[in-house]
Chains A and B, each alone.
Chain A
Amino acid sequence: MALTSEQSRLLDHPSTRKIALVGPAGTGKTTAGTLWLKKLLESGIPANQILLFIPQRTLAKPYEDSLWDDLALSQGLVSIVTLGGLARRMLDLFWPAISSQTGVAQPDRPPQFLTLETAQYFMAHVVRPLIEEKNYFESLTINRNRIFSQILDNLNKAAFVGFPIEEIAPRLKAAWVGDVEQMHIYDDVQASALAFRSFCLEHNLLDFSLQVEIFIKYLWPLPACRSYLTQSYRHLIVDNIEEDTPVAHDVLREWLPDFDSAVVIADREAGYRFFLGADTQSAMTVVDACDETLLFEKNLVSSKDIQGLQNGFRRAVASLMGETPLQQSLPGADATRAIVTPRENPRYFPAMVNWASAEIRRLIDQGTPAGEIVVLAPFMSDVLRYTLSRKLDEYGIPHHSHRPSRALRDEPAAQTLLTFATVAFPEWGLLPQRINFAFALMQAIDPFDLVRAQLLSRYVYDERAEGFPLKPFEEVPAEVRDRITYRAGERYEQLRSWLAATLPEDDQTLDFFLNRLFGEVLSQPGFGFHNDLENANTVATLIESIQKFRWVIGDQLNHDDFSTGKEYVQMVADGVIAAQYIQPWQDAPKDSVFLAPAYTFLMRNQAVDVQFWLDIGSPAWYQRLDQPLTQPYVLSRRWKAGEVWTTEDELRAANATLLRLSLGLLNRCRQKVYLGMSEMDVSGYENRGLLLRIIQQVLLETKRGIR
């Protein structure tokens, strides 16, 4: 591999230096990082003394891959950490040394770590009475679950930005101009956050914010913990530091002098995880603490035309913000050559998808590998992903999508198990509607169709029953039994008698109950899950979610009339527990088109030849989410006390977001960007947002000869 001069300069340094690599994406910094890693290993430094610190797990892939290129170097594993992972690990190891300072009620017991789901559950547990009895959030019309998650979001921001949770409302209120009602909402947020924190401490529960806070306050300064870390890790590599949070930067800055060597990599014009707390300015304090900075300027990825397009974006956004662009013009670049648009924009989005799919086919026919194409949208909604996938399937084009997490209650396999649980425990009072029971039967019995399942349910299932609601198959009239078939009837009987034997106490371990139902009945020969390996994974995820719920909730709310199983099922139905289904494992097929939300693609940090940007009229490319209980800018470390957030700030933030995102995408594009939009977007709105206007301006300027 030919090295760039910057990469060579890095490798010329001895492994006793602390060097920062700074420059835009696509200039070879991560490759330089992987080469540095190899150099360390080749010089005999044990792998387990090397720490790779990143803001998100996906960013470790180039380093992991590089270690596979030369297995002779593999004598141990490089430790890969995020701040959250580090905090959790240190809490696990050093808890007894600091537990009595943390304020938990039982310092001699290990803490229980909350997942996002269980934190949301306890937040609901604490805040629901405040809403119902004390009229908290009275003026808000948003879904309660969004209230709970935004309060958690505020707690997390306090932990990652590094301010006391008591300051959430004062900060938000100080920056607010407008409706006084919003001030009351902020007060309610504050009281809820404090109530949740007290509850956690009282029950030895550590949500994500408390894990980070305890790590920063008690573990990081603890000599035993610090010397463990210092002795374990002698060499540091940090990548994408601009995507990390201020407290991560504080830790790294303090830790840096203890390492023998460090390479700290920072992307300029990035910070995509701003909404998750990323802070590009505090990242630079770590860069500044290094011995030396190497600037990586030469773009190794994008064609000249794409770089011209980037300049166009910079100019357009600068002029929108009333600023003078700093960027030099690029002779020979023609942004119009980097862009492909349809002759005219269709009215509805399926036609946009058709256009994009046809262009993808044409590209592949002309020799572009499928793996060099990505299709991006600000959000990849189910309907957009489905329509795209179908069309690409039609053309026989391999593709894979970032599958966003989905609520398990929307997965038929999970629904089937939960339906049978509600039937087995009639005392919960949650018997399913007949159609849902029929649907579950159809899934469970193999082969069975909905018509026969409905027919069977009509005779055997009593949705108003006080006790067990299923009757034996033999009570079905003979002529109906014939239609249903005796084979299916036999299966039904097997299932019914299994469910009938349920013991009332089984609902305390609903996960094991479902394990048995799955193993002993539903996956046996003649049942729907027997050979269904995909759906088995969905069921496994559901059961794991119940198990984690039981571990934490069962211990805390253990009283006689409390049913863990019923509580879980109800919380899923109410959406408090999303029971998110994220495919546990993804081995992206090598040569296939990737369909993803734009930010997901960015955080994979891989360049491609061609990008399709769909729905470019949508404001979702730059607008922040509507979050009335929080405010990422005001709760950031950049915010100055006493300032107020105005509509101009909002506009400036939108412009900055859009510029960051578009430059980030273009930095990861080698040749062309295809721009797709329809007059009516996926949600049926007519949108002509900022991105579209900027692109139009860039094209106009290019035609006028401005490069």
Chain B
Amino acid sequence: MTLPENFDFTQSNLQDYLDCPYRFYLRYIRHTQWPALIVDDALAFEQRGQTGARFHRLIQQYLLGLPEERLADQAAADPSPEVFSWWQDFLQYAPPLLEGARHVETVLSAGLNGHRLVAKYDLVLVRPDGGLTIFDWKTSQKRPKQERLLERVQTRLYRFLLVLSGGMLNGAEAIRPEQIEMNYWFTSQPELPINLPYTADQYQKDQTFFKKLVDEIAALPGEAFTRTGDLSKCRYCVYRSHCDRGVEAGDLEMFDDFLPETEENPDDLDFDQIEEIAF
């Protein structure tokens, strides 16, 4: 077992492993930060990320019931004009979808074969009809195809984990896969969210998939975390110079097509990770 003590499996580290075992090894076992750029236009990339984070915060504040006019003021004063127009779209299209008990920024976890799976949800809605909808707000510029979303570790893990542990949100009632759907809401097409219902069959497949995956990772000796053979995975990987897989960072314009799992810092699971300043 080469994994660090108390290691949590999350969508982003599992996706990293699937993309490239060596990347997983460097990032989570060796804890190597490799300070190269992910994309060529780093400033635009940073601004996109920060704009997205501010928009997420607004939604979160809305869901917590903060006065709408104050939020509108914040959206209007945002340095990026996109935020205000996203905000208006959100107010136009999202509220009808949000009827029910809201669990905002909820973290669920579950033990699986002696390992722990963890996921942080933007919103889990327990609907009046007893169903549960997982919402994920996406500010990426392109809206991916449904098939791609279905393959994503995020989609698979979030729905799977909600079956395992969602009772916590549901008065301890067991949850059946059919009660669950995942809703990706895109700022780029606010009127067309992608809704992905879950099924018992898919749940079985996910269970087999995740069990095998975490067991495999946990059993792997350090040297067996090999580099991916798929060079396209290296294009947006910071370790590319260490692996001798290219010099320049990937093209920002193509980034959304590539759809890596880095958006919105999914590893930020802890309420209190903020560096404490001793005085």
Contact = CB atoms under 8 A, between A and B. Distances in A.
Interface of A: 44, 46-48, 56-57, 64-65, 68, 71-72, 74-77, 79-82, 84-86, 88-89, 92-94, 96-97, 106, 108-110, 115-116, 119, 152-153, 156-157, 160, 208, 224, 228, 276-277, 509, 512, 514-516, 518-520, 523-525, 530-531, 533, 536-537, 539-541, 543, 584-585, 587
Nearest to B42: A512
A57 B276 contact: yes
B57 A92 contact: yes
A210 to B, nearest CB: 12
Contacts of A536: 32-35, 242
Contacts of A88: 274
What are the 3 tightest A-B residue pairs by CB atom distance, in nearest-first order?
A71-B111, A519-B36, A85-B272
B98 interface: no
Given A157-B279, A519-B240, A539 B35 contact: yes
A79 B272 contact: yes
Nearest to A530: B242
Interface in B239-279: 240-242, 244, 247-249, 269-279
Contacts of B278: 276
Given A82-B276, A509-B42, A75 B54 contact: no
A643 B172 CA distance: 58
Interface in B91-121: 106-111, 114-116, 118
Interface of B: 4-6, 26, 30-37, 42-43, 54, 57, 60-61, 64-67, 70-71, 73-74, 76-79, 106-111, 114-116, 118, 164-165, 167-169, 172, 238, 240-242, 244, 247-249, 269-279
A72 B111 contact: yes
B64 A47 contact: no
Given A524-B241, A531-B242, A537 B107 contact: no
Given A82-B276, A96-B70, A540-B34, A110 B54 contact: yes
Contact of A81 (B4, B238, B272, B275): B272
A530 B26 CA distance: 14
Contact of B168 (A65, A76, A153): A76
A93 B74 CA distance: 13
Contacts of A224: 64-66
A515 B67 CA distance: 41
Contacts of A228: 64
A514 B109 CA distance: 38
Contact of B6 (A68, A153, A515): A68
B6, B115, B272: most-surrounded residue (chain A CB, <10 A) = B272
A516 B41 CA distance: 11
Contacts, number: 177
Contacts of A65: 6
B4, B108, B276 — which one has the most chain A CB atoms within 10 A of its CB? B276
Contacts of A512: 37, 42-43
Contacts of A584: 31, 33
A634 B242 CA distance: 54
B108 A76 contact: yes
Given A74-B109, A96-B70, A224-B64, A519 B37 contact: yes
**Which of B73, B116, B242, B271 has the most chain A CB atoms closer than 10 A to its own CB?**
B271
A138 B8 CA distance: 54
B183 to A, nearest CB: 21
Nearest to B269: A77
B57 A46 contact: no
B44 to A, nearest CB: 11
Contacts of A514: 35
Contacts of B108: 75-76
Given A115-B275, A536-B34, A537-B31, A46 B73 contact: no
A71 B116 contact: yes
Contacts of A156: 279
Contact of A75 (B167, B273, B276): B167
A276 B279 contact: yes
Nearest to A208: B277
B111 A76 contact: no
B107 A48 contact: yes
18 contacts: A64-B6, A68-B116, A75-B110, A75-B164, A75-B168, A84-B274, A89-B274, A97-B66, A106-B77, A153-B279, A228-B64, A515-B35, A518-B241, A519-B36, A520-B247, A523-B34, A543-B35, A587-B4
Nearest to A519: B36
B242 A76 contact: no
B147 to A, nearest CB: 31
Main secondary structure of the interface of A (DSSP, over half): helix
A165 to B, nearest CB: 14
Given A536-B34, A539-B35, A116 B277 contact: yes
A82 B172 contact: no
Contacts of B241: 518-520, 523-524, 530
B106 A76 contact: yes
A81 B276 CA distance: 10
A77 B43 CA distance: 35
Contacts of B107: 48, 76-77
Given A85-B272, A94-B66, A44 B172 contact: yes
Given A74-B165, A115-B277, 8 more contacts: A46-B168, A82-B276, A110-B74, A515-B35, A515-B36, A519-B238, A584-B33, A587-B5
Nearest to A84: B276
Nearest to B164: A75
A277 B276 CA distance: 14
Given A85-B274, A106-B77, A587-B4, A77 B33 contact: no
Contact of B64 (A68, A72, A79, A93): A93
A85 B6 CA distance: 22
A70 to B, nearest CB: 8
Nearest to A588: B5
A531 B37 CA distance: 17
B124 to A, nearest CB: 11
A556 to B, nearest CB: 13
A76 B61 contact: no
B277 A84 contact: yes
Contact of B43 (A79, A84, A97, A509): A509
B61 A96 contact: yes
Contact of A525 (B26, B165, B244, B271): B244
A89 B271 contact: yes
A369 to B, nearest CB: 17
B90 to A, nearest CB: 15
A72 B110 CA distance: 7
Nearest to B70: A96
A80 B269 CA distance: 11
Contacts of B66: 94, 96-97, 224
The CB with the most chain B CB atoms within 10 A, among A92, A228, A525, A536, is that of A536
A539 B35 CA distance: 7
A276 B36 CA distance: 37
A97 to B, nearest CB: 5
Contacts of A93: 57, 60-61, 64
A211 to B, nearest CB: 9
Given A48-B106, A48-B107, A71-B114, A108 B76 contact: yes
Contacts of B168: 46-48, 75-76
Nearest to B33: A540
Contacts of B242: 523, 530-531, 533, 536
Contact of B57 (A106, A110, A525, A585): A110
B30 to A, nearest CB: 6
A574 to B, nearest CB: 21
B30 A533 contact: yes
Contacts of B277: 84, 115-116, 119, 208
Contacts of A68: 6, 116
A96 B109 contact: no
Contacts of B43: 509, 512
A540 B242 CA distance: 14
A160 B106 CA distance: 30
A94 B62 CA distance: 10
